[in-house]
Amino acid sequence: MSAKKQTYSGNQGLVLEEALIFEIGVASKCGVDMEAIPDTGSMLGDCAAEQAVDLPGLSEPEAMRHYVRLSQKNHSIDAGLYPLGSCTMKHNPRLNEKMARLPGFGDIHPLQPQSSVQGALQLMDTLAHWLKTLTGMPAVALSPKAGAHGELCGMMAIRAAIEAKGELATRKRVLVPESAHGTNPATAALLGFKVDGIPADANGRVDLQAFKAKLSENGGEDVAAIMLTNPNTCGLFERDIIEIADALHEVGGYFYCDGANFNAIVGRVRPGDLGVDAMHINLHKTFSTPHGGGGPGSGPTVLSDRLAAFAPLPFVVDEGDGFKLIEDASQTDQPSFGRMVAFHGQMGMFVRALSYMMSHGSDGLRQVAEDAVLNANYVLASLKDVMTAPFNGPCMHEALFDDGFLKGTGIDTLDFAKAMIDEGYHPMTMYFPLVVHGAMLIEPTETESKATLDLFIGTMRDLVAGAKSGDLARFKQAPELAPRRRLDETLAARNPVLRWRQPEPDTQVTGQAAE
Amino acid sequence: MRYLPLTQIDRQDMLATIGVASVDDLFVDVPHAAHRAENVDLPRHQSEMQVERQLAAMASKNTSASQVPFFCGAGAYKHHVPATVDHIIQRSEFLTSYTPYQPEITQGTLQYLFEFQTQVSELTGMPVANASMYDGSTAAAEAVLMAHRVTRKTRAVLSGRLHPHYTAVIENLSEMGGFHVAQTPLQLDDLSNDDVLALIDDDTSCVVIQNPDFFGNVSDFTALAAKVQEKGCLLIAVVPEVISLGLLKRPGDMGADIVVGEGQSLGNGLNFGGPYVGLFAAREKHIRQMPGRLCGETVDADGKRGFVLTLSTREQHIRRDKATSNICTNSGLCSLAFTAHMTLLGGQGLQHLSKLNHARAVQLVEALTSVDGVSLVNRAFFNEFAIRLPRSAAEVVEALADKGVLGGVPASRLLPHGNLDDVLIVAATEVTSEQDIEAYQTALQEVLS
């Protein structure tokens, strides 16, 4: 049972219950004052609806309270450490927000005359310059909407290049390490490629011998690409990466690098020096644009000389006396693979990312990588005597542990994570990567202070001691202090309730606030 | 550097704990050939004020929609966003939170997603909606792939009056995935969508139509939907302007099997094309073939109502190469802006807003078609319409811009080979004032005379 005191309202001090808008609002209520409707007659033809949509409205104070109360049920990077491995939950500077809201960026239309948006095109061109310089790559496609969309962009460019060489019928195989993000195989499959897994070696990296064996099947003539994350999802740099790239290029394949973990090397290592042909960059990870509860992201994708000509539409060219947006295949001689999205990409994120890059500069970005790696190694070094690290360090920007230290305690990775919630932490990434058992992947990022890390380390050590001493309740009952206790995910999936419906009379809704 | 908390003393202490002499020792796995001792060739760090000055200088070169009489649409619309909405989406707990994978401490995000799904479901007249997609165009492409999965067929038929960018995105993804697309010829004389029927063959999984279409035409497609379904295909309806749903028949009520849309108009600014928020709604029987995240209701260990991401066995992080889509993120914060704005409006408020949009468009049509040589293409429209001009629309738009009026989008910008040089697509919304309309009419008169 929960340790919480029972209250009449269901509220717990500052933890306030909040009903759904459908339970507190009415369709006739409106929190927006509008002008009267001029009497013009209708030009809607046969398509006019007979009645208003049945959705509740709230007055402005009610709406504000509703959303503020909901917000208080969220953990956030502003409020505390958010060490989700592979997600790079770093501080989101508010200068970026202010810049994105300048009317000259936030209030311009994608299809207004290009002469009236020269500053916006200049911003895109400047961002492209920074991204190309930081990665050492000759071209970048800005339009992908998120990381997975950037992957799609890179793989589409690779597919287009293979097609241009007349090898589409033969090059069908894409090599994907078992430690890869799920988006990698999903992207390859979406484009009709056959996914061929490569195992990890005992050091948590691509097994070079296994890779070479896979490559030599059919003389490598059927290999389209490898999709490799570097630093990889175990938080390790792929030492053999140049050798992998060279061997791949020798048989005519392309190297797609998943750039999710670019934060570990930004300003210090250029992917272009590693033989990469395409890599997406998550602006919402490395370049601090907010995660926003699951988006919007932005996934610009850098391309090598072998792929640059196939870059998607649209793109910006600097014509000397002004910038021009190339929007249609007829405006360019390049064999672009076409369009991935309406309009030009996530402009709001471009502004934020450039604001961040300019703030840090070349020297600051290098320090970002160094501090991110330092923080992760500090956590690794401070916990590896009580938790189990499957691979020898040093790590890059994230520290990976397995559940070996929980063996025999009756507590699993999930229980451990939920107990962290009661301690005020968002859990690390769990059960990923798949190559170690009960994985716990901790990425502190460079924006955490030593004091924050020391308290976190102390807490983790205390939790480990609790687990080993048999304090099962602390883990099995957890979380007890969060706005909700463990939620029944099986019930949610077995009987999906994906929208609110008017309840039948006589049914009681639990957890509803008494307003 | 203001974003980095570690001091030099901290760094030394931490290196000592780790047991290495310098941070370079932590990068030992980087191959020597890729090692760079120097900073990359970019400017060094700058103060907040310095960055602000440079970016503001770039921003000032652009003409913003609020500065001038403004009439651009074609898939992105200028609406008034209440100040409350922008405050809500800047709440730290929403702005700086991740995807709600730990539901106990992300009920705020999950509850608004559940409310968002319900609102989208009601607006479109469909039983279920997902937690959003990147934007309208990618939602449309995902809908086509879903129709292929549901019907186990491989070909899509598109209306010629689908937004050309949406067409391009669908065609591109389809071709790369080994699927086929056919499109009806573009014409503005017969405004019914019945020509799609002739293109349906045995391999066709779906028909994609847009309402309002790219030229602003609206029509009741109930009869068409029935005919499409008789041929064993799904009808996918694209809604490019969500405000239209406050006044038009709902696509679900007209028989659509999948409804996708661009939700930018509610809560989200123009942002030069993104970020926006894709809407995706479907029939209950197809839930398990839907792409994207779904939020579902459940209970916690104390029996209290709560919400979780659910049916994730469809998704890439579980199913990998067998997933319904490669999508990982949705458009979380934009869906919050959408749902907060919709909550402020309510059903009747939305209807009022829609009527205001329509009335302004009707007034604008009257004003513009009173100019010699200008004629209206549409028989019925919502807040956007197409006019034929006696001259090239692209030239007219440039000349209008010189006079301080952003008068719309020339059809030829998106359809350079469509033989539509004289067609201009014009939108009016609640932000369009009577003075704006007058200014446009006067400027157009001057440009054409």
Domain boundary assignment for chain B: 83-341, 346-448
CA distances from A198 to A159, A257, A418, B221 (A): 21, 15, 32, 50
Tell me the C-alpha distance between A428 and B285, whole Å. Answer: 36
- Report the pLDDT value the prediction gives residue B272, as an integer from 0 to 100: 98
CB-defined contacts A:B, below 8 A = 727
Q: What is the mean pLDDT of residues A17-45?
A: 96
Tell me the C-alpha distance between A342 and B133, whole Å. Answer: 13
Cβ atoms within 10 Å, residue B32: 6
Q: Which residue has the tokens 């959705």?
A: A55
Q: Which of A33, A107, A198, A441 to probe by mutation at the B interface, max B CB count within 10 Å?
A: A107
What are residue A323's DSSP bridge partners? Answer: A318
**Inter-chain touch B41–A362, beta carbons under 8 Å:** yes
Ordered DSSP codes for B317-360: HHHGGGSS-------HHHHHHHHHHHHHHHHHHHHHHHHHHHHH
Q: What is the mean pLDDT of residues A409-425?
A: 98
**DSSP secondary structure letter of residue B300:** B
Region(s) of chain A under CATH 3.90.1150.10: 364-492
- Which has the closest alpha carbon to A425: A487, A488, A481, A368? A481
The CATH number assigned to the domain with range B83-341 reads 3.40.640.10
- Which has the closest alpha carbon to A14: A55, A90, A68? A68
Choice between A505 and A434, residue whose per-residue pLDDT is larger: A434
**Inter-chain touch A512–B305, beta carbons under 8 Å:** yes
Q: pLDDT in tens for each of the 449 residues of chain B?
A: 999 999 999 999 999 999 999 999 999 999 999 988 899 999 999 999 999 999 999 999 999 999 999 999 999 999 999 999 999 999 999 999 999 999 999 999 999 999 999 999 999 999 999 999 999 999 999 999 999 999 999 999 999 999 999 999 999 999 999 999 999 999 888 788 889 999 999 999 999 999 999 999 999 999 999 999 999 999 999 999 999 999 999 999 999 999 999 999 999 999 999 999 999 999 999 999 999 999 999 999 999 999 999 998 777 777 777 777 777 678 999 999 999 999 999 999 999 999 999 999 999 999 999 999 999 999 999 999 999 999 999 999 999 999 999 999 999 999 999 899 999 999 999 999 999 999 999 999 999 99
Q: What is the mean pLDDT of residues A258-270?
A: 96
Tell me the C-alpha distance between A260 and B430, whole Å. Answer: 41
Q: Is the pLDDT of residue A358 over 50?
A: yes
**Inter-chain touch B111–A330, beta carbons under 8 Å:** no
Please report which confidence band the pLDDT of residue A1 belongs to, taking 50, 70 and 90 as the band edges: very low
- Report the pLDDT value the prediction gives residue A179, as an integer from 0 to 100: 84
**DSSP secondary structure letter of residue A314:** P
Structure tokens at A2: 């929960």
Looking at the complex, report in whole angstroms how far the Cα of residue B260 sits from the nearest Cα belonging to chain A: 14
- Residues whose CB is less than 8 angstroms from the CB of residue A58 and which lie 6 or more positions away in sequence, other chains included: A21, A24, A25, A29, A31, A66, B343, B344, B346
Residues of chain B with C-beta less than 8 angstroms from the C-beta of A97: 90, 95
Q: Is the pLDDT of residue A2 over 90?
A: no
**Inter-chain touch A340–B169, beta carbons under 8 Å:** yes
Residues of chain A with C-beta less than 8 angstroms from the C-beta of B355: 37
Nearest to A70 among B31, B108, B312 (CB): B108
Tell me the C-alpha distance between A419 and A1, whole Å. Answer: 15
Nearest to A74 among B45, B94, B220 (CB): B94
Structure tokens at A419: 């107990």
- Highest CATH level, class, for A364-492: alpha beta
Cβ atoms within 10 Å, residue B228: 26
- Report the pLDDT value the prediction gives residue B190, as an integer from 0 to 100: 79
* Residue range B170-205, pLDDT digits in tens: 999 999 999 999 999 998 887 888 899 999 999 999
Cβ atoms within 10 Å, residue A490: 10
- Residues whose CB is less than 8 angstroms from the CB of residue A50 and which lie 6 or more positions away in sequence, other chains included: none
What are residue A197's DSSP bridge partners? Answer: A176
- Which has the closest alpha carbon to B207: B185, B239, B179, B232? B232
Residue A311 — φ and ψ, nearest 5°? Answer: -50, 145
Q: Tell me, rounded to whole angstroms, the distance of Cα A129 from its chain centroid.
A: 23
Rg (Cα) of chain B, in Å, rounded?
25
- Report the pLDDT value the prediction gives residue A140, as an integer from 0 to 100: 98
**CA-nearest residue of chain A to B245?**
A53
**CA-nearest residue of chain B to A188?**
B321
Q: What is the mean pLDDT of residues A377-395?
A: 96
- Report the pLDDT value the prediction gives residue A512, as an integer from 0 to 100: 45
Amino acid letter, residue B429: T
What are residue B50's DSSP bridge partners? Answer: none
User: What DSSP element (H or E) covers A323?
Assistant: strand A323-326
Interface of A with B in 126-145 (CB under 8 A): 126, 130, 133-134, 145
ipTM of the complex: 0.97
Cα dihedral A351, A353, A355, A361 sign: negative
**CA-nearest residue of chain A to B9?**
A450
Looking at the complex, report in whole angstroms how far the Cα of residue B201 sits from the nearest Cα belonging to chain A: 23
Q: What is the mean pLDDT of residues A395-413?
A: 97
- Which has the closest alpha carbon to A107: A115, A116, B84? A116
- Residues whose CB is less than 8 angstroms from the CB of residue B21 and which lie 6 or more positions away in sequence, other chains included: B15
**Inter-chain touch B332–A291, beta carbons under 8 Å:** yes
- Residues whose CB is less than 8 angstroms from the CB of residue A187 and which lie 6 or more positions away in sequence, other chains included: A148, A151, A152, A155, A227, B326
- From the number of C-beta atoms within 10 Å of its C-beta (0-12, 13-18, 19+), residue B154 rates as middle
Cβ atoms within 10 Å, residue A115: 11
Nearest to B163 among A38, A71, A342 (CB): A342
Q: What is the mean pLDDT of residues A224-240?
A: 95
What are residue B112's DSSP bridge partners? Answer: none
- Residues whose CB is less than 8 angstroms from the CB of residue A509 and which lie 6 or more positions away in sequence, other chains included: A19, A23, A503, B305
Q: Does A20 touch chain B (CB under 8 A)?
A: yes
- Which has the closest alpha carbon to B164: B387, B407, B416, B422? B416
**Inter-chain touch B4–A371, beta carbons under 8 Å:** yes
**CA-nearest residue of chain A to B169?**
A340
Ordered DSSP codes for A186-216: HHHHHTTPEEEEE-B-TTSSB-HHHHHHHHH
Nearest to A295 among B316, B329, B350 (CB): B329
Structure tokens at A1: 């049972």
**Inter-chain touch B329–A394, beta carbons under 8 Å:** no
Tell me the C-alpha distance between A59 and A29, whole Å. Answer: 7
Tell me the C-alpha distance between A170 and A139, whole Å. Answer: 27
- Highest CATH level, class, for A96-356: alpha beta
- From the number of C-beta atoms within 10 Å of its C-beta (0-12, 13-18, 19+), residue A48 rates as middle
CA distances from A143 to A347, B134, B438 (A): 9, 12, 37
CA triplet B81, B83, B89: central angle to 5 degrees?
Answer: 85
For chain B, what is the total number of helices (H) and then of strands (E)?
Answer: 13, 13
Cβ atoms within 10 Å, residue B38: 7
Region(s) of chain A under CATH 3.40.640.10: 96-356
Q: Is the pLDDT of residue A75 over 70?
A: yes
Task: Provide, rounded to the nearest whole percent, the portion of chain A with pLDDT above 70.
Answer: 97
CA distances from A465 to A86, A417, A470, B351 (A): 27, 15, 9, 60
Residues of chain A with C-beta less than 8 angstroms from the C-beta of B30: 237, 265, 268-269
Q: Report yes or no: B281 and B258 within 8 Å, Cβ to Cβ.
A: yes
**Inter-chain touch B406–A375, beta carbons under 8 Å:** no
Domain B346-448 CATH assignment equals 3.90.1150.10: yes
Q: Is the pLDDT of residue A475 over 50?
A: yes
Q: Report yes or no: A294 and A272 within 8 Å, Cβ to Cβ.
A: no
Q: Which of A71, A152, A447 to probe by mutation at the B interface, max B CB count within 10 Å?
A: A71
Strand B155-158 and strand A440-442: the pairing is unpaired
Structure tokens at A88: 């790079």
Nearest to B340 among A67, A93, A298 (CB): A67
Structure tokens at A450: 């030593």
Tell me the C-alpha distance between A52 and A447, whole Å. Answer: 49
